[in-house]
Amino acid sequence: MENTDYQVSEEEVARFKERGYNDDMLPKTPEKRNMGAKNYFTLWMGSVHNIPNYTAVGGFLFLGLSPINVMMALIISALVVALFMTMNGRAGSKYGIPFALHLRSTYGDIGAKLPGFLRGCVAAIAWFGLQNYTGSLALLILIGKIWPGFLAIGGSASFFGIGIPGLLAFTLFWALNMLIGIGGGNILNKFTAILSPLIYLVFGGMAIWAIRAAGGIGAILSFDTSGATQSINPIFAYFMIINSVLAVWAAPGASVSDFTQNAKSTKDQTVGQMASLLVAYVIFALSSVAILIGGSIHYGIQEWNVLNIVDRWDNFTAVIIAMTVFLLTTISTNATGNIIPAAYQLSALFPKKVDYKKGVVIASVISYLIMPWKLMENADSIFIFLNSIGAVLGPVAGVMIAHYFFIKDQTINLDALYIDPKENNTKNVYRGLNRQAYIATIIALLISLSGQFIPALQAISNVSWLVGFSCAFAIYYVLRKLGSEDTTEEAFD
């Protein structure tokens, strides 16, 4: 199939660079697009098989659905996520532009700052710190198995609520994640290529162990999940799981152009991401349900923390291998979903002073200073914070997709998008603030958050991403169609 993506010339890049844009913000020329379908196939594998996702499945089993229905809901969720990721990644793969410029094409150069800051700085940096802390818990178990005396270092002393062994484990894991982030996409491609087959082997092996430990697949599939804390309509439970999975991908899905800008073609990123997410979630659906239920049956307790199940194993080698792979998947998740977007966004906000590598260091230091272990002391507050960020990004994604596909018909004027600060061109379509986009985003945000404040609308909180995305999409589309007969050349402000 012929590649219809826009071929950015060296002359265009040189012209944009003269306007003050650093290399990280410039569109990628064909020779710099080095990610094919195979690269995208391995890209998200580690982001699926991480500790928080396994814990979430434990929560899904309490919704009252049977194990097979939880698996099916996860696979359907994967299809929805894959469509979202590939569609929102088309602007990046067609024009070779990063998320910051994709966002500008929708919200305008001034309007892009707030949603960009929320996604690239607040959400990404907070998640980076939280994922580092979660990974450090696995690292602490790993080190404790190899060197039991490590867990006694410092005695009862603590540093702002965390013990010395925990702080050392966190610092070590944080530094490793920062180094991977500094390496950028090239290091990440190699890292995920190695990690992908390990995921198949380790999590497949864990699932086989769990099935045998439970007495067969039948015991797992017939496991009684009727102990749900509340009665939920099965169809609505499906939507709750789909929404939860989408919320996990809300941040990387919004900024997916940071990765698709490197695609050799739109076809490569579409085929690669679709296959990656579907295959990864089929494996994840089977392994997560099998491991959590199988482990619970085997040990005679309902245990939904996969780390606790692995920690109970008698086989030292198996514990080491499993914990190592969990650590690697957390690193992959942190790089793809958090530190890389944060670095790019900091570079976009301060293009003359901050490049990509400086952005990684700044974001990493901030993620350490916020002391993420403190945020996790109160489960209610951290989930309210993260759900609020997700509720913001759902409407943002809805506006972005509506604008690119249905308002602009997948067309971006690169020369206008890379605004020349020396020219005071008020007619430039990308200058200012897209008021209609902001109106749609704010209204959709208020609707998606309404369930947290109005008891009668509590159900909305359980599907907030879906509600926010749908409302923003519809409101923005109507506002644009009613607001102007010619939306192609009209400036935002």
**What CATH number does residue 44 fall under?**
1.10.4160.10
* Domain assignment of residue 88, yes or no: yes
Separation CA 109–CA 430 (nearest Å): 6
Q: Amino acid identity of 106?
A: T
Q: What is the pLDDT of residues 154-167, one digit of tens each?
A: 888 888 889 999 99
Q: What is the pLDDT of residue 230?
A: 55
Asked if residue 468 belongs to a domain, the reply is no
For residue 472, with 0-12 CB atoms within 10 Å meaning exposed, 13-18 middle and 19 or more buried, which class applies?
A: buried
**Between 52 and 378, whose confidence is greater?**
52
pLDDT bin (cut points 50, 70, 90) of residue 312 is very high
- Asked if residue 429 belongs to a domain, the reply is no
Please give the Cα distance from 89 to 173 (Å, whole number). 30
Q: What is the distance between the alpha carbons of residues 96 and 30, in angstroms, rounded to a whole number?
A: 9
> Does residue 6 belong to any structural domain of this protein?
no
Domain-located, residue 68: yes
pLDDT of residue 472: 97
Range of the domain at 341: 16-378
Tell me how many domains the chain contains: 1
> Does any domain span residue 204?
yes
Residue 280 in domain: yes
**Of the given ranges (24-28, 204-208, 344-348, 413-417), which has the lowest mean pLDDT?**
344-348
Q: Where are the alpha helices (DSSP H) in 335-457?
A: 340-349, 356-369, 372-375, 379-401, 414-417, 435-449
Picking from 13-22, 349-358, 385-394, 404-413, which range would have the lowest pLDDT averaged per residue?
385-394
Does 2 map to a domain? no
